[in-house]
Amino acid sequence: MNTTAESLEMEDPGDPTLQGVAYLDGARLRRALRAGIARLMAGQDHLNKINVFPIPDGDTGTNMALTMHSVLQALERCRERHAGRTLSTIADAALDGARGNSGAILAQFFQGLSDATVDLSRLRPSDFSAAVTTGAQYAREALTEPREGTVLSVLGDFAHEVQVHVADGARDFGDLLGRGLERARDSLARTPERLEALRRAGVVDAGAEGFVMLLAGMHRFLTAGSLREPPEVPQTLLLASEEELAIDHGEETHRYCTECMVTGSDIDRRRLREELARLGSSLVLAGTHSKCKIHIHVDEPQAVFRLAAEFGQVSGEKADDMFRQQASAHHQAAQRVAVITDSAADIPDEEFERLNLQMVPVRVMFGDRSYLDKISLSNAEFFKELTTNPNHPTTSQPAPGDFRRLYEFLASHYDHVVSVNLSTRVSGTLQAAKSAASRVKPEGRVTVVDSRNVSLGQGLVVMHAARCAQAGMDAAEVIRETERVAGQTYSFGLLRNLDYAVRGGRVPRSRKVVADLLRITPVLSTTPDGMVVANGVILGRRNALPKFVDYVLKRVDRSRPWRVSVGDAQDPEGAEFLARALADRLPKLETLYRAPLGTAFGVHGGPGTLVVSLQAAD
C-alpha cells in the first residue's frame, strides 16, 4: 500500500477548526474517511486472527483493507467539494475494489450513503442520519440470508443511535459520531450473544469490528484532528488457540470464495440474485442496475461466471480456495514461512495438499471466454476445449492484485512469504508478483524467486521450497535453497504434434511441413536462465519414447541422485513408460512424481505432449 498511516499523519496534522463540526462537505468527508481507513488498515492482522464467520479462513482484515485501499486511491485523486459527488466516488471505488463478504457489504453500505445524498453539497446531521440508515438497509438487502451478530447488526444499531441523537437535536458531528460509535462498540461486544459460531470461538465478529475501527478513526479525526494515536486492538478478543479456530470449518461447506463484476445496461438484480442463490452460500450482491459485484461461496466458480455472463459483461473474476487458507492458518504454528506459486507450476495434487501450498491462477482465454486456470478450468477441461474450440487459447499473467490479496493474507499469518514463480524469460508473471510484493506492508515480508523453469520443473522447485519451509528453515534459508535448486532443475518436452504450436503462431507452418516430411519430433528444453527453446529432435516416429529417454539421460549425470517428475497431456500410457524407463536407468533416483500437464506446455504442445523434469537431489 503506497499510503501509510504515518504519511497520512504528516499530511493532515491537528486542525482546531474541526472542533464542533456542523456540516461535512466533500473535503471534510475525505479527510475523516482517510483517518478511518488508516485505523482499519492498522488493525487488519487482528481482524484476520479473529475471523470465524461465515468461514474461518483468516482473511476478513485483508479483504476489508484491500476494499478500503481502493477507496483511498480514489480519494487521492478526488478534489470534489460536493459531499454527494464525493460519496458517489467513494461508493464506485468501494464496489470496484470490494473483496470478500465483508468488503462487498461495506461497498453496499457506501452505495446506500451515495444514493441518499446524491444532490447534497453539504451534509447536516439530519442528512447524515438518513444516509447511514439507507446504507444499513442496502447492506442488509445485499445478502440473501442476513444474519444477526454480524456487521449487519452493528450497522443497524449505529444507524438507529444516530437517528435517535439527531431527533434529540444533535448539531455537532463529533458528538454525533461519538454517540454512534459508543452504540456500535456495545453492539460489537454483543455479537457473540447473537451468533453461536462467535460464542464458541470466544471472539466478536471480525467484519463488525472492522467497521467499528473505521468509525473510531473518523471520530478521532473529527474531535481532535489528529491521526497520531495508534488504533486500539483489544487483546481480550484474541483467541486462546488460533490453531483450533483455523481447522474448524464451521457452517461453511463450499470451497471457493468467488467474485466477479457484472456491467450492463439494465441488470435484473432480482433474477440474478435468485439464480446465484441456487449455486452456493454466503451470497452478497452489491451495486446498482448497471454495475453489480457478486460475492458467493461455491464449489464450481465457473458456474458463477457463466451465469453472470448472461446478465452483462463479466470482469474481475477471482476464486480463493478457502479450505487452503484454513490449512495455511493451521500450519502456521509449525512453520514460519509460507510458500506459494502460480498455476503454471504442475504439481501432483497429493503433494500440493501435503506441502501446504497456495496458488494464484493464470488467466486462460478461448476467444472472449475467460477462465481461471486449474480453478474454473481443470486440466482435462482445458485439453477438451483446446481440441474442440476454433479459438486457440491464450494465457495471461495474474493481475498484481491477485497476488497481493494472497500475499496480504499469508503475511498476516507467517513471518515471511516466498513466492516461486514462472520463469521471467517466458512470462510477465514474475514481474506481476514482484509488483504485488512491493506493496505489502510492512515491507520485506514477501520475497519473489524466479524458478527459471516452467510446468513440472517449476513444480519441483516449488516443492523443494515447501519442504524446506516445513522443515522449519527461516526465510533466508528457504530463499537460498530455492535459488540453488532452481539452477539445478531441468525440463524436457516432447512435442509429438506441432498443429497447436502452428495455431498459436509459435511455429511457422513451413517448419511443421518439414518435420512431418522428415518424420522428426522436436524436443523443447529449458536453459539455465529460464528460456524454453527447441534444443533437439528425435529422428523417426517409431520408438520415439525410448529415444526421448536416451536424449534426456545423455544430458544429466546419472551418478548423481535425482528427483524426477513426469507429466503428460492425456497420454498416461506414454508417461508411465517414461517413468518406468527413468526409474530403471537412474540408479540414485530419490523421488519419482507423476502429474498431469497444464497450460504452460499444453497451449503449444496439445494432447500427446510429454514432459520430463529432473532436479539434482544431492
Whether residue 305 is contained in a domain is answered as no
Helix and strand numbers (H, E) in the chain are 27, 17
In a domain, 556, yes or no: yes
Q: Is the pLDDT of residue 369 over 70?
A: yes
453 phi/psi in degrees, rounded to 5: -155, 175
Coil/strand/helix, residue 304:
helix
Please determine, for residue 300, whether its predicted confidence score (pLDDT) is greater than 90: yes
Q: Are residues 154 and 239 in the same domain?
A: yes
Residue at which a domain ends, from 186, 221, 246: 246
Report the CATH number that the domain containing residue 89 is assigned in CATH.
1.25.40.340
Tell me: pLDDT of 227 over 90: no
Domain-terminating residue out of 486, 508, 523? 486
Same domain? 426 vs 497: no
Go through 335-348 and write b for each residue having 16 or more CB atoms within 10 A of its CB, e for each that does not.
bebbbbbbbbbbbb
Tell me which H or E stretch contains 320: strand 313-321
- Give me the number of domains the chain comprises: 3
Q: Which domain holds residue 395?
A: 323-486
Q: How confident is the model over 82-99, as a mean pLDDT? A: 92
pLDDT band at 422 (very low <50, low <70, confident <90, very high): very high
- Residues 428 and 548 grouped into a single domain: no
Task: Note whether 501 and 408 are same-domain residues.
Answer: no
The confidence band for 471, taking pLDDT boundaries of 50, 70 and 90, is very high
Cell of 33: 474517511
Say how far apart CA 534 and CA 270 lie, in whole Å. 54
Q: In degrees to the nearest 10, what's the CA dihedral of 579, 584, 589, 594?
A: 10
Whether residues 559 and 577 share a domain: the answer is yes
Asked if pLDDT for residue 609 goes beyond 60, the answer is yes
HSE toward the beta carbon, residue 309, CA cutoff 13 A: 11
Residue 165's identity, in one-letter code, is H
CATH of the domain at 434: 3.40.50.10170
Q: Which has the minimum average pLDDT: 3-12, 86-95, 112-121, 263-272?
A: 3-12
C-alpha cell at 440: 505489502
475 and 513 fall within a common domain: no
| Terminal C-alpha separation, the chain | 41
pLDDT digits over 398-418, tens only?
888 889 889 988 988 899 999
Whether 148 maps to a domain, the answer reads: yes
Residues 414, 477, single domain; the answer is yes
Note the maximum CA span of the chain. Answer: 92
Three-state DSSP state, 6: helix
574 part of a folded domain: yes
Q: Are residues 355 and 468 in the same domain?
A: yes
Average pLDDT, the chain: 88
Chain segment 122-171, per-residue pLDDT in tens: 999 999 999 999 999 999 998 888 899 999 999 999 999 999 999 999 99
Q: Is 58 in a helix, a strand, or coil?
A: coil
CB contact at 8 A, 411 and 337: no
Both 341 and 482 in one domain: the answer is yes
Q: Which of 458, 486, 514 is the last residue of a domain?
A: 486
Q: What is the pTM of this model?
A: 0.72
Q: What is the pLDDT of residue 325?
A: 78
576, 603 in Cβ contact below 8 A?
A: no
* Distance between CA atoms of residues 8 and 173, nearest Å: 21
Q: Are residues 580 and 611 in the same domain?
A: yes
Q: Is the same domain home to 357 and 371?
A: yes
Same domain, 570 and 452: no
In terms of Cα–Cα distance, which of 274, 328, 268 is closest to 296? Answer: 274
Please tell me which residue, 618 or 181, carries the higher pLDDT value: 181
* Nearest-angstrom CA–CA distance, 373 and 315: 15
